Amino acid sequence: MFPLRVPLLAVLVSVALSQYNDYYDYQPNFMQGPSGPNCNQECDCPINFPTAMYCDSRKLKFVPVVPTGIKYLYLQNNQIEEIKAGVFDNVTDGLRWLVLDYNQITNAKIAKGTLDKLTGLEKLFFSYNNLTEPVVPPSKSLDELKLMHNMLSKFPSGLLTDKENLTSINLQHNQLTSDAIGGAFKGPKKLLSLDVSHNKLKKLPAGVPSSLEILYADYNEIDSVGAGYLNKMPSLQYLRISNNKLVDSGLPSGVFNVTSLVELDLSFNKLKSIPEINERLEQLYLQANEINKFDLASFCKYVTPVNYSHLRHLRLDANNITQSSMPYDSSNCLRQLSDVILGSEMALLLSLLCTLCLVGQVLGQDMPYEEYMAQIQACPKECRCPTNFPRAVYCDNKGLKSIPKIPTHTWYLYLQNNLIEVLSADALRNATQLRWLNLNRNKISSEGVEEGVLSTMSQLAHLYMDDNLLSSVPSPLPASLEHLLLSRNRISKIPAGVFLGLDKLNLLDLQGNKLMDEDVTEVSLKGLNNLVQINLAKNQLSSMPLGLPPTTTQLFLDGNNIDKIPAGYFKRLPKMAFLRLNHNKLGSSGVPKNVFNVSSILDLQLSHNLLTEVPLISSGLEHLHLDHNNIKSVSGTNVCPVAVDTVDDSINESVPRLRYLRLDGNEIKPPIPRDVILCFRLLRSIVI
């Protein structure tokens, strides 16, 4: 019913962010050694990869003549101004990749009969040059076209009509206007990603293919979105229109209420209210607008056990809104939210149900004038430091390869979506007041975390390093840490004692790593005295983790290989309330009789396992997911936690609390036996 979106999402995000990944990843580990016999003398053609010619970073002024047989040609980082006639004559149909980034080529100096003869080209990377018009080879096989950071002021229509395999177009940082791109994107039926950020558009591009999944149009002059614009793009998942001029009156009612969207970025605009969104949306960015009310109806029209907002991340900081604006009943609708950022206050809605937990201190708004000036003046040129929110430094989505020097009074630092490889102690030397550090989606490996860089940040509460290349939990960590997010790295090691002294850590996310049973033990988890939520989904565990502290309330273990649960496992976890074990290998023989008969558990998810019987539950359980197992039958006598005939007509404490039950994807034939209904008086929804 709720398709597992995560793997697809990860793939798409990596498509969206792979500005340069392609050829870095592609580059073979070529041996230094003799070049192939045919190579141009200015370049290298690795002998074990004879179809590639590397001519990058060697001060070339011209494109050298390319010998027969070359398919991959790297010419980035030179001083090329000109492409002379004939250079590609021997590879007109053989050349697949052409990389010309970081040169100074102008349209006038591209001779006729060069690029316009390349009929087999699949990738053309022509960013950071001096082009004023797009260069599009006649190849029908073109799949990627990157022309960012040029001076394009037009993109004539019809250039892409025969590009049936084109999936990705990058045009950011040019001078394109809406008139100049009218009709430009008609044709490529498989287009997935289009980036037109940092141009001069007044509206979102028209006539884009319906296959599009990613559309980025940040930093333009867009003030409105046409009614029904998104209905023409049924696959669109990621839409970014931040740093434009959007106003409420430019957004027709329901324009963003489409089921396909997963991420919507409307930050840094002029909106005064929160637009209606669909319940499927997972990430909504609205920081730095002029929003002054929080209307729950923007998120949920109806709230039921199965109808609620899927929103996980919501940013509302730098608006005219505070925590007190947030309605008391938000958690019923926004039950998947893991963070809301509201002004300088931070709220965390921890539970899936109705516990609204607020963490993080309320931060003083005041800042001495000298500090304010010092902070604004020291803003790194690559970043943005909003004057109305001076403790925040935004360096996200900038293609940064390293961290700039961060000013002293920074509390919130956003570095996500860059190409950073090193967490540099030098750049962060003065940033000892940080509370919040977001490094998601970079390329930081464990070797890249410099000695002691984190431990000097004695106030750091939130550290986000999802989607990096870490192989081990970074250490040492500051004792102030409350949230540590390390999902989708390559972590196979938790250094012994790394969590010692981390008494405030309540959320630890390690999903999507390579942890095995021997890595998650009493020794490695020692010190987590206040852990509330731990996510170990999608690792390589085959048994239940040992050494979890008794404070643990949420334990997510989906997508491992767990086949049994030790008897009495939850006796040591008296607060366990939300337990997810979907997509494991649990058979009924691996589930001891009373193991889930634990009164604290409210939500138990065992979908996609190998169970043949409904496990025994406690009267207190509210949600039970058993879909996609091998269960053949249910009856009151085997599922009711109390004897069916003792459940009397009056609803009192002893009535089983189950409200939501899923049994679909088993071998159970309807109807649902009467005694099941008699047992679970409070059941609102049963899916069979």
Cβ at position 115, least distance to ligand NAG in Å: 17
| End-to-end C-alpha distance for the chain, whole angstroms | 12
Residue whose CB is less far from ligand NAG, 47 or 65:
65
Residue with tokens 């109305």: 388
* Cβ contact 134:116 at 8 Å: no
Residue whose CB is less far from ligand NAG, 278 or 554:
278
Cβ at position 255, least distance to ligand NAG in Å: 11
DSSP one-letter code for 437? E
Residue whose CB is less far from ligand NAG, 558 or 622:
622
* Cβ contact 595:571 at 8 Å: no
Say if residue 228 is exposed, middle or buried (CB neighbours under 10 Å; 0-12, 13-18, 19+).
exposed
In angstroms, the CA 418 to CA 396 distance is 7
List residues near ligand NAG by CB under 6 A: 65, 67-68, 81, 90, 104, 106, 130, 140-141, 164-165, 257, 276, 278, 292, 298, 301-302, 304, 306-307, 320, 405, 408, 426, 429-430, 594, 597, 616, 618, 646-648, 650, 652, 654, 685
In angstroms, the CA 24 to CA 106 distance is 26
DSSP one-letter code for 210? T
Cβ at position 320, least distance to ligand NAG in Å: 4
Using alpha carbons, select from 414, 420, 451, 405 the residue that is nearest to residue 435.
414
Going 163 to 168 to 170 to 176, the CA torsion angle's sign is positive
Residue-level length of the chain = 688
Residue whose CB is less far from ligand NAG, 405 or 572:
405
Cβ at position 106, least distance to ligand NAG in Å: 5
In angstroms, the CA 615 to CA 617 distance is 6
- Which secondary-structure segment (H or E) carries 281? none
Give the pair of three-digit tokens for residue 219. Answer: 């930093």
Cβ at position 551, least distance to ligand NAG in Å: 21
Cβ at position 70, least distance to ligand NAG in Å: 9
Cβ at position 498, least distance to ligand NAG in Å: 27
Name the 3-class secondary structure at 679. helix
Residue whose CB is less far from ligand NAG, 89 or 667:
89
* Cβ contact 70:52 at 8 Å: yes
DSSP one-letter code for 158? T
Q: What one-letter code names the amino acid at 683?
A: L
Residue whose CB is less far from ligand NAG, 534 or 591:
591
What is the 3-state composition of the chain as percent helix, strand, coil, each rounded to the nearest 5?
10, 15, 75
Give the pair of three-digit tokens for residue 90. Answer: 């021997």
Residue whose CB is less far from ligand NAG, 141 or 521:
141
In angstroms, the CA 499 to CA 539 distance is 20
Cβ at position 140, least distance to ligand NAG in Å: 4
Cβ at position 86, least distance to ligand NAG in Å: 9
Please, which residues have CB within 8 angstroms of residue 24's CB and are 6 or more apart in sequence? none
- Which secondary-structure segment (H or E) carries 438? strand 436-438
Using alpha carbons, select from 1, 12, 4 the residue that is nearest to residue 538.
4
Work out whether strand 345-347 and strand 339-342 pair parallel, antiparallel, or are unpaired: antiparallel
Give the pair of three-digit tokens for residue 180. Answer: 């100049």
Cβ at position 426, least distance to ligand NAG in Å: 6
Cβ at position 654, least distance to ligand NAG in Å: 5
Cβ at position 298, least distance to ligand NAG in Å: 6
Residue whose CB is less far from ligand NAG, 169 or 510:
169
Residue whose CB is less far from ligand NAG, 36 or 512:
36
Cβ at position 657, least distance to ligand NAG in Å: 13
Residue whose CB is less far from ligand NAG, 67 or 399:
67
In angstroms, the CA 602 to CA 430 distance is 45
Residue with tokens 């509210």: 622
* Cβ contact 100:75 at 8 Å: yes
Q: What one-letter code names the amino acid at 420?
A: I
Residue whose CB is less far from ligand NAG, 401 or 429:
429
Residue whose CB is less far from ligand NAG, 430 or 561:
430
Residue whose CB is less far from ligand NAG, 493 or 657:
657
Q: What one-letter code names the amino acid at 310?
A: H
Cβ at position 105, least distance to ligand NAG in Å: 8
Residue whose CB is less far from ligand NAG, 110 or 537:
110
Please, which residues have CB within 8 angstroms of residue 94's CB and are 6 or more apart in sequence? 68, 69, 70, 71, 120
